[in-house]
Copies of this chain bind each other. A is one copy, B any other.
């Protein structure tokens, strides 16, 4: 990277500006298409009055949760905003822009989450109603997929629009401003993932423990006080959290590509990373509209077809765009500053984008294989249910480990492949970021696929609770739900791939920020501070890996703790409200929703603080070398852990479905009980801890990029102050310890619940 510095003085020519404006218009078009899709969803039939009643309760609960979460995040976001404002910046404009777009990123992220949740709660009811009608299978699938399509369009539209505006307004300072934008998006997404994840699984596990295990009543039985909370959870976790998470993936990957693009390719490098996802928007629209279930095929086949078709079109369009917009040699690049690099920019860009698209396809296939009911792994997990819960748990863990390894190797191969495209480190990093952009072209369809899951799950819940559903309708909804489990796992795989690509690419701006700060302090860059085998860097790697384990443990613990509180409350209601079991008394659903809301917002503080403060403690305490090691360790372990948790959870869930479909003894058998245990173990794995690791990596990465200049500035040169540095590290460490101790103090409510065991109804 020597001799090439990021964020050069870039200017856009009139023609370039025109291209960016076109991109912005395409982004707005995506939003418009999203609006049309929303109208279409809302126009569908709303079923019986009983169904509408239940749906309304879920809608209200979800809205109430997000409102309270918004208030919590406002406080936290304001603090971060102020800290961000205080960090060193090259100019006042950059400082203001960075902080301002931090807010924009945060608001967009929250807005997408809110939209995803709101629309899903509207769609659930309509899917349930459609399934109940004659020949409703196709309509139900379409509504569910259109709902996802609307959220997908909003995700890519807002992401692309935000980035395009930054490029138009800030041009030269765009990279720094984009860091703020990405950070805002990632931070809010992480909180929404963690909070929503805790809510949904606390309600789910709590409802199951009292309902299924103690009372022997089925899932989604209206006599269970936690049943509305369970359905609210699906919306705030799987819809709001997921949508914010994918928006964040989109934004951060785009940010990484734009930052590196400007260095590698001059001002053309600010254009091409916008063009690729813009083309992705176009193909995603196609993908959403061509999704039609053919008679007799599974929902997964339909979705896969739509994915592969749009991926293929994207690949063709992006290759064409590369050769149209980029010259065939570096010396021909407009500003000529990068003339020393050999190779064909157009070819490199095209191949990099294709690598990203292929990566998405391979992950889609791998995840489908490891978590789909029709393949060997889930079938084997299902079979082990005959030798009891222990073998179910062990085989699910093996499936998770194995799939994590192959997914990580595939992602690694993509990074390495993109890296090999150029001998110049900067261009290689840009190629990696472009592979990320290639992946992005599939996000529209991915969101559509993912939303499919919770919407069908919830539709099933509404149908069962209302009792107003036909046998045929129930069968359709069960089938859609099973497809949902796999699509949810696929999304997590794609999301973690974006984390690795973006993080690897962002290391370029990390190094650049350090180099610049050193120049400012009159020092030169010393590569030996970043050697992977240097003991301090290795300790950083170890700490980074440890933080991923800690974060996962905290998230899982938060779920079991919150679930314990739900168990208490549901038992209390069974005991104190007369006639619940007979159906003459009505449970107080709202109280359980309130407890879930309160607990999940309280519980998200510790993992959230850990994510923001750990890199601060390591960076200011040990230095920029160990912090780089820390990020490396967190990325590597985080990737494996995220996929492991997501896929083992997905496999357990579908193994349960296999048994429920009549295999190995069917519902009510011992084998079924064994798979229920596996599924419960998998709940916080796949819906709380696992998916939160993706935004976790991005947050830690962006915090590191943002604080790097300050660490260097306060370490060497005129502003050096060991006292200040160490104080910051100590404060960060103390805050982490306090947060951990507070959450420990809360105890493990689920462990305390047995104290009331004697009072069981």
Contact = CB atoms under 8 A, between A and B. Distances in A.
Interface of A: 205, 209, 213, 380-381, 383-384, 386-391, 393-395, 397-398, 401-402, 404-405, 408-409, 411-412, 415-416, 418-419, 425, 428-429, 432, 500, 504, 507, 510-511, 527-528, 530-547, 549-550, 552-553, 556-557, 559-560, 564, 567, 622, 625, 628-629, 631-633, 635-637, 639-640, 644, 664, 676-677, 680-681, 684, 748, 750-754, 757
Contacts of A539: 412, 415-416, 419
A390 B201 CA distance: 13
B384 A750 contact: yes
B387 A533 contact: no
Given A412-B539, A550-B405, A677-B390, A637 B640 contact: yes
B209 A388 contact: yes
Contacts of A532: 530-532, 537, 540-541, 625, 628-629, 632
B395 A560 contact: yes
Contacts of A418: 535
Given A409-B543, A542-B635, A754-B664, A535 B640 contact: no
A518 B358 CA distance: 38
A115 to B, nearest CB: 32
A637 B677 CA distance: 28
Contacts of A625: 532
Contacts of A209: 387-388, 391
B409 A546 contact: yes
Contact of A389 (B381, B530, B636, B677): B677
A542 B393 contact: no
A636 B635 contact: no
A391 B340 CA distance: 60
Given A504-B535, A560-B395, A681-B393, A545 B546 contact: no
Contact of A751 (B380, B404, B538): B380
B401 A542 contact: no
Given A386-B757, A388-B209, A538-B415, A404 B752 contact: no
B398 A546 contact: no
A347 B500 CA distance: 44
Given A419-B539, A530-B533, A542-B636, 11 more contacts: A209-B388, A380-B748, A402-B553, A404-B549, A405-B549, A412-B539, A416-B535, A532-B628, A533-B632, A541-B632, A633-B636
A205 B391 CA distance: 9
Q: A-B pairs with the 4 shortest C-beta distances?
A: A401-B553, A386-B754, A390-B680, A507-B533
A677 B532 CA distance: 41
B567 A387 contact: yes
A310 to B, nearest CB: 28
Contact of A404 (B381, B546, B750, B754): B546
A633 B633 contact: yes
Contacts of A507: 533, 535, 538
Contacts of A632: 532-533, 537-538, 541, 629, 632-633
Contacts of A405: 546-547, 549-550, 553
A621 to B, nearest CB: 10
Contacts of A560: 384, 391, 394-395, 398
A547 B640 CA distance: 10
27 contacts: A383-B751, A383-B752, A386-B753, A387-B753, A394-B560, A395-B750, A397-B553, A398-B557, A401-B553, A405-B550, A408-B542, A412-B546, A419-B536, A507-B533, A507-B535, A507-B538, A511-B533, A527-B527, A530-B532, A532-B532, A532-B628, A545-B545, A549-B640, A629-B632, A636-B636, A637-B637, A637-B640
